[in-house]
Structures are given as C-alpha cells and as structure tokens.
Structure 1
Amino acid sequence: MSSTAAVPFWRAAGMTYISYSNICANLVRNCLKEPHKSEAISREKVHFSLSKWVDGKPEKPNCHVYKLSCF
C-alpha cells in the first residue's frame, strides 16, 4: 500500500530524525555568541557508565564520554 502523504524532507534525504536533529542543534550552537557558545558546546558531551552484571551484582563500572556530534 503506497501513501500519497507528504514525506518529511529529512526522511526524503535518507536521514533519521536523530541525525537531522543533531545537525540542527550543531548549527544553532555554532551560531551563538560567547560565552553562550562555549557553554552550549560543553553541554554537548554526555557522560555515562556501563556495568557488567555477574551473579546479580554489578562489577566495577566503565566510564565513557560521548560527544553528540554528526561531524
């Protein structure tokens, strides 16, 4: 069954919404003036930890830093 409904341009370009959203957020951050630009860029990093569970107990977590960026 084909649909004649309009397709969002990001989908038509072969992108996911997350990649489109990341590109837009990156453009907005780069347009800010200092000191707001450096504050926004520092918030773009995500810190998280992963723990492997063995016998119902977590082992020592591994800390990771992930930079949210498409470029």
Structure 2
Amino acid sequence: MASTGAASFWRAAGMTYVNYSSLCAKMVRNCLKEPHKSEAISREKVHYSISKWTDGKPEKPSIRTDSPDE
C-alpha cells in the first residue's frame, strides 16, 4: 500500500506528480558520472506531435522535440 505522506509534499509545493517525477529524474541524471551522464541527458528529450482540429477534422500534425523544462 502506498504512503499518502509523500504526496502531500509535492502537492503542498504546487506541483503535479509529472513535474515532481521529472525533477527527481533530472536530479538523478545530474548525479551520474560521465559517460553515463551525457547519455542519460540525451534521452531526456521528449518527442510528440500536435494536431489542430478545424471543423471536426484534424489538420496535418506537426512533430515537436522539446526538453521537459521548456
């Protein structure tokens, strides 16, 4: 059974779980030694596509590549 005590800390800080998880992962990646650190940071990028909808139909999707901090 999961503890509810930890959730109160990130909620009290005004964070979502995804933001909290991303922050923790970034801290772990920064603690690694080379060459593992640069490899882990290169995998940090997020790839996704955005489709705008007009009149109930999707337009051509655009592919985005962003860092989680942007």
TM-score range, shorter chain: 0.5 to 0.7
**Which structure would you say has the larger Rg?**
1
Q: What percentage of residue pairs aligned between the two structures are identical?
A: 66
Point out the structure with the larger helix share.
2
The 1:52/1:12 distance shift into structure 2, 3 A limit, reads closer
Report the count of equivalent residues: 66
Other-structure match for 2:31: 31
Aligned CA-pair RMSD: 2.7
Point out where structure 1 has 5 or more consecutive residues left out of the alignment.
Answer: none
2:18 aligned partner, one-letter code: I
- Work out whether residues 23 and 69 of structure 1, in 8 Å CA contact, stay in contact via their aligned partners in 2: no
- Distance in 1 (CA, whole Å) between partners of 2:49 and 2:14 is 32
Calculate the TM-score normalised by the size of structure 1. Answer: 0.67
Structure 1 outlier segments of 4+, above 4 Å: 51-54, 57-60
Aligned-partner Cα distance in 1 for 2:25–2:68: 10
Greater RCO, CA 8 A, separation 6+: 1
